[in-house]
Amino acid sequence: MADIFDDLDSKAEELAKKIGQSYDEVFASLLQLVEGKTAEEAIEILAELNIGQALKIKQAQATSSIISAGAVGILENTFATTAPLTEPALRGLLTSVESKLSSRFTDVVGNDMRSIIVDGISTGKFPNQILKESKEKLDVLGHSVANAQKEIQAGFNQYSNSVTNAMAEKAPADTRYVYIGAYDDRTRDECIAKIDFGEGTREEVIAAFGDMNNELWNCRHKWEEASSAPIEQGYNPEKFES
């Protein structure tokens, strides 16, 4: 079971690096457009550009292929359910996650890039100096590669949670679930409580925890329909001591 979480981490890291590369390429192109311009002229030029769309074009292929591959891995590593979702429903859930991530890494970043360039020109900095400082400024604004990786990981978890909740809503009321995933020194107290909960119906799980989600950020767990042998499917009721 741990393999799927390691694989998703690897995919998140790969995509985050490609997104960071797109930031560098688009930022450098924008600086070329406004080189030698005053701050006022730069504002006028940049105001006409859809920077978010430029980033989206740069990121589109990698985002679509890697997010889709991650979703396939999640589904392949989910215990066969008594209430599978239709393909259009699965695609709809995936599109929602992909759109949210895309907006975060394009429109939001594009607006911040525009501000960084204009501020740099207005303070008399040369384009190469603005470019040199751009990475640090973007990092401060939350656009680092490391932060992108965390957000992509959370996106995978969001998709997994959405699939789990939708399938559980369709399943017979007496269907039982267990909290699948690692139980070690890194496991959070919230996840330990769900592991210790053992098997329960959807109604019982929601009554105890409010929903059937995992802990989203850097979480290596998920609620899953219990098989006849939960431990074999990845349920770890005993802590692994390293």
Taking 70 as the pLDDT cut, the residues of the chain under it are 1-2, 242
* Of 157, 110, 105, 160, residue with least CA distance to 134: 110
- Reduce the DSSP state of residue 106 to 3 states and report it: coil
**What does the pLDDT read at residue 2?**
59
Q: What is the pLDDT of residues 76-103, one digit of tens each?
A: 988 878 888 999 999 999 999 999 999 9
- Reduce the DSSP state of residue 47 to 3 states and report it: helix
Q: What is the pLDDT of residues 213-231, one digit of tens each?
A: 999 998 999 999 999 999 9
For the whole model, what pTM was predicted? 0.90
Pairing of strands 176-181, 200-201: antiparallel
**What does the pLDDT read at residue 207?**
98
